[in-house]
Every structure is written in structure tokens, then in C-alpha cells.
Amino acid sequence: MILLISKKKRLLLLLTPLFIIMIGYLTATIFSSYINEWAWVPLALVYWFSLALCIVFFKSNKKVTDWLKKSKPSKLSISLAIIVGLFPMSILAMNYHLLDSTSLSYFGLALLLLILGLKSYIGVDFY
């Protein structure tokens, strides 16, 4: 899918992820003071609603399914994705001591088995 849009709309499209992140941060900050660990619920709602708004606003005359197709990545986008994806590894390295818990290991194993069971039962990949 090739987007033929104006420069103003292209700039807005490029800045949209930053706006979504800012709105998500504000949502999580505000709701965490009211509902503590359940702040992820309004955060998820705001996130998915903002993604839906972006698709509706930027799709122009294209079908929504065109936005959800597999992309044709370039070497630059793959490199950036790997670099950004490695960031959580530093967080894991700083908090490696949290993995000493055997109950956490059992929980991870149970989650893995649940996902594999659902995958084979439903026949759909989750990734």
C-alpha cells in the first residue's frame, strides 16, 4: 500500500506515535492514582481507541484491511526495530535477581503451556 498524502498529513502521521505514547502515559499516570494496578484497563482502551482513530483518519480511500497487511520492511526499519527491541534487555539485566523465584518460573511455564494449548486448539498463531 502506497500512501499519497500531503506533507502536512505525512508529518502528522510521523508524529502520531509520540502523541499516542504521551496520551498513554497521561492515562496510566492519572488512573494509577485512582485504581492502582488496574490502570492498564483504561490504558489499553485509550491505546486501541487511538490506534483505531489513526487508521480511520489516515486511511483515506483505502480499505482498513490494507492497513493490517504484512508490511514490506526495509533494512533501516529492521535495524531500528532490533535496536528498540534490545532496550528491554537492559531492564532485564538490571532486574535479573527477580528471576530467582521458583514460583515465577512455574507461572511462566504454565503460561507457555496455556499458549501452546490454545494455539493448537484454536489453530491460530498469537504472533
**In this predicted model, what pLDDT tens digit does every residue of 67-126 receive, in sequence order?**
667 777 788 888 888 888 888 788 778 877 777 778 777 887 888 888 787 777 666 555
The whole-angstrom separation of Cα 9 and Cα 79 is 26
Cβ 46 vs Cβ 22: under 8 Å: no
Q: Which three cell numbers stand for residue 90?
A: 537492559
The whole-angstrom separation of Cα 115 and Cα 113 is 5
Residue ranges of domains in the chain: 1-69, 70-127
C-alpha distances in angstroms, 94 versus 50, 75, 102, 105?
32, 30, 19, 18
The DSSP secondary-structure symbol of 69 reads: S
